[in-house]
Structure 1
Amino acid sequence: MNCSLNIALVSMSALSGEHPQASVVRELACALARPVRDGDRRNHVTVYARRYDDAARERTRLGPGAALRLLDAGPPRPLAEHDLVRHVRDMADGLRRRWSGAGRPDVVHAHGWIEGLAACAVARELGVPFVQSYHGLGTVERRAGRPVHPARVRLEAALGRGADAVLAGSEQEADALVRLGVPRPKIGVIPYGVDGEHFSQAGPTLPHGDRSRLVTVCRDLADGGVATAIRTLVNVPGAELAVAGGPARRELEHDPAAHRLRMLAKRLHVADRVIFMGRMPRRSLPKLLRTARLALCLSPDRPEPRAALEAMACGVPVVTTPVGGNADSVLDHITGLHVPAERPVEIGRAVRRLLAEETTRHAFAIAAADRAHSRYSWERIAAETLRAYARLLPDAEPERRRGAGPERRAEPAVPAQARESEPAAALTS
Structure 2
Amino acid sequence: MKILFHFVIPSGGMETLNRHRFWALLDGGSDSAFHYCFPGAGLGNAAGIPVFVGHGPDELRRALFSDQYDALVVTTVFEHLGLVRELGYRNPVVFEIQGFGSVERAREQMALARPHVEQFADAVMVPPAPHLIGLAKEMWPRKPLYTMPVPFDLKRFRYRPKGASFPPIVAWIGRIEANKNWREFLLAGREILSRTGNVRLMMFADLSLAPEAERAEFGRALHGLGLAPHTELYSNVRNRMMPDFLSAVSDSEGALLATSRVESVHYGILEAMACRCPVVTSDSDGVRQSVIDGRTGLYYQLGSPAEAARAVLRLLEDPALRRKVTEEALRHLERHFSPERFRTSFLGMLKDLGVRGP
TM-score bracket relative to the smaller structure: 0.7 to 0.9
Offset, 1:277: 3.3
Q: TM-score, normalised by structure 1?
A: 0.67
The CA deviation at 1:142 is 3.5
Q: Give yes or no for the alignment of 1:308 onto 2:308.
A: no
**Deviation string for 1:225-275 (max 9, x for gaps)?**
321122113433224321122438xxx9x9514412312422xxx554333
How far apart, in 2, do the equivalents of 1:281 and 1:126 lie? 34
Classify the secondary structure of the residue corresponding to 2:95.
strand
Q: Assess if the C-alpha contact under 8 Å between 1:216 and 1:242 holds in 2.
A: yes
**Of 290, 306, 318, which aligns to 2:247?**
290
Q: Corresponding residue for 1:360?
A: 321
User: Which of 20, 40, 45 matches 2:32?
Assistant: 45
Choose between structure 1 and 2: higher helix proportion: 2
1:187 deviates by 2.2
The equivalent of 2:207 in structure 1 is: 247
1:261: which partner in 2? Answer: 221
Pairwise mapping of residues 100-249 of structure 1 onto structure 2 (< 5 A)?
A: 104-114=68-78, 116-118=80-82, 121=85, 127-137=90-100, 140=103, 142=105, 152-162=109-119, 163-172=121-130, 173-179=132-138, 181-183=139-141, 186-204=144-162, 209-220=165-176, 223=179, 225-236=181-192, 237-238=195-196, 239-247=199-207
In structure 2, how many angstroms separate the alpha carbons of the residues matched to 1:291 and 1:95? 40
Aligned-partner Cα distance in 2 for 1:233–1:138: 24
Cα distance, 1:318 vs structure 2 = 1.2
Contact 2:24 / 2:153 at 8 angstroms: preserved in 1? no
Letter in 1 for 2:123: A
* 1:274 alignment partner in structure 2: 231
Residue identity in the other structure for 2:50:
A
SS of 2:169 mapped into structure 1? strand
In 2, distance between residues paired with 1:370 and 1:307?
A: 17
**CA distances 1:318-352 after superposition (whole Å, capped 9, x unpaired):** 11112142122111111101222121122222222
Q: How big is the shift at 1:67?
A: 3.2
What SS is found at the alignment partner of 1:193?
A: coil
**Preserved CA contact (<8 Å) 1:198 1:286:** no
* Alpha-carbon offset, residue 19 of structure 1: 4.2
Paired positions, count: 339
Tell me the residue number matched to 2:288. 327
Q: Encode CA deviations 1:185-235: one digit per residue, 9 max, x unaligned.
A: 722222433342343123447xx8522221111122654532112211343
Which residue pairs with 1:10 in the alignment? 6
Contact 1:130–1:165 under 8 Å retained in 2:
yes
Alignment counterpart, residue 68 of structure 1, candidates 36, 51, 60: 51
Say whether the 8 Å CA contact 2:128–2:264 is kept in structure 1: no
Q: Note the C-alpha offset of 1:362.
A: 0.6
Contact 1:226 1:243 in 2 (8 A): no
Q: Which runs of 5+ in 2 are unaligned?
A: none
- Consecutive unaligned residues of structure 1, counting only runs of 5 or more, are 36-41, 74-86, 397-429
Amino acid at match of 1:20: G
SS state at 1:8 partner: strand
Summarize the Cα distance change of 1:45–1:247 in structure 2 as closer, same or farther, 3 Å threshold: closer
Runs of 4+ in 1 over 6 A off after TM superposition: none
**One-letter identity of the residue aligned with 1:210:** F
Aligned partners of 1:233, 1:49: CA distance in 2, in Å?
A: 36
CA root-mean-square deviation: 3.6
**Structure 2 CA distance for partners of 1:394 and 1:230, relative to 1, 3 Å:** closer
Task: State the percentage of identical aligned residues.
Answer: 20
Q: Distance in 1 between matches of 2:305 and 2:238?
A: 29
Q: Tell me, what secondary structure is at the counterpart of 1:174? A: helix
Distance 1:182 1:313 in 2: 36
- The code of the aligned residue for 2:306 comes to V
- Preserved CA contact (<8 Å) 1:6 1:44: yes
Alignment of 1:23-38 (within 5 A): 23-35=16-28
Structure 2 vs 1, CA of residues 222 and 364 (structure 1 numbering), >3 Å: closer, same or farther? same
User: Per the alignment, do residues 184 and 316 of structure 1 end up closer, same or farther by CA in structure 2, a change over 3 Å counting?
Assistant: farther
**CA-to-partner distance for each residue in 1:146-205, whole Å, 9 max, x for gaps?**
xx9xxx5443223444432211123232123234x1228722222433342343123447
1:296 Cα deviation from its structure 2 partner: 0.6
| Matching of residue 22 in structure 1 with residue 15 in structure 2 | yes
What is the TM-score with the length of structure 2 in the denominator?
A: 0.79
- Where do residues 414-425 of structure 1 align in structure 2 (5 Å cutoff)? none
Contact kept in structure 2, 1:161 and 1:183, CA below 8 Å: no
